[in-house]
Amino acid sequence: MRCPVCKYDMVVVEYHNIELDYCNSCKGVWFDSEELELLLKSQGLEEPKAFFDGIFNSQKAVSPEKKRNCPICGHKMKKTAIGGQPEILIDICRDKHGLWFDGGEVTQLIRHLAGEHPPKRDSREQVISFLEEVFGAPG
Ligand SMILES: [Zn+2]
Ligand SMILES: [Zn+2]
């Protein structure tokens, strides 16, 4: 799969049977919907669907950032903000193929959510702790 930002081939990073596509050049991460669902299920999350619907149906964010094309279908993705304050912009495919995190956004997200509801094991935290383990961000 090609990186939606710089068009280099991405590498597959596998961790606990979950595969992510990672761009060595811009450090962006593509999270396939199926892989994200697998991850949430493997963590015993009760409602992976609610998590998805929440993200896919969220408001479109206004951003000067360039639009990215989905690496699967090639259509322009929608920008949406997750994480409240400060907002972290991610790109999502309207056909629910997956989520794109620009390089730096993963770390930003991890830092932001690390300070929030520490004892609560919710779906966002599961995703973040997984990314932390994969990319070795400070936790
Ligand atoms: Zn890239
Ligand atoms: Zn797509």
Nearest bound ligand to CA 25? 1
For residue 118, the model assigns a pLDDT of 47
Query: Of 41-55, 57-71, 78-92, which gets the smallest average pLDDT?
Result: 41-55
- Between the CA of 138 and the centroid of ligand 1 the distance, in Å, is 22
For residue 139, the model assigns a pLDDT of 44
- Between the CA of 15 and the centroid of ligand 2 the distance, in Å, is 23
Residues around the ion ligand 2 (C-beta < 5 A): 70, 72-73, 93, 95, 97
pLDDT digits (tens, 9 = 90+) for 86-138: 677 889 998 989 999 998 877 776 666 555 554 455 677 777 777 777 877 55
| Residue 11, pLDDT above cutoff 50 | yes
Q: Please state the separation of Cα 35 from the chain's center in Å.
A: 11
- Between the CA of 2 and the centroid of ligand 1 the distance, in Å, is 8
Nearest one of 115, 103, 110 to 127, comparing CA atoms: 110
For residue 30, the model assigns a pLDDT of 94
What are the phi and psi torsion angles at 41 (to 5°)? -65, -40
Question: What is the reported pTM?
Answer: 0.73
Residues around the ion ligand 1 (C-beta < 5 A): 3, 5-6, 23, 25-26, 28
- Between the CA of 38 and the centroid of ligand 1 the distance, in Å, is 24
* Secondary structure string (H, E, C) spanning 45-94: CCCHHHHHHHHHCCCECCCCCCCCECCCCCCECEEEEECCCCCEEEEECC
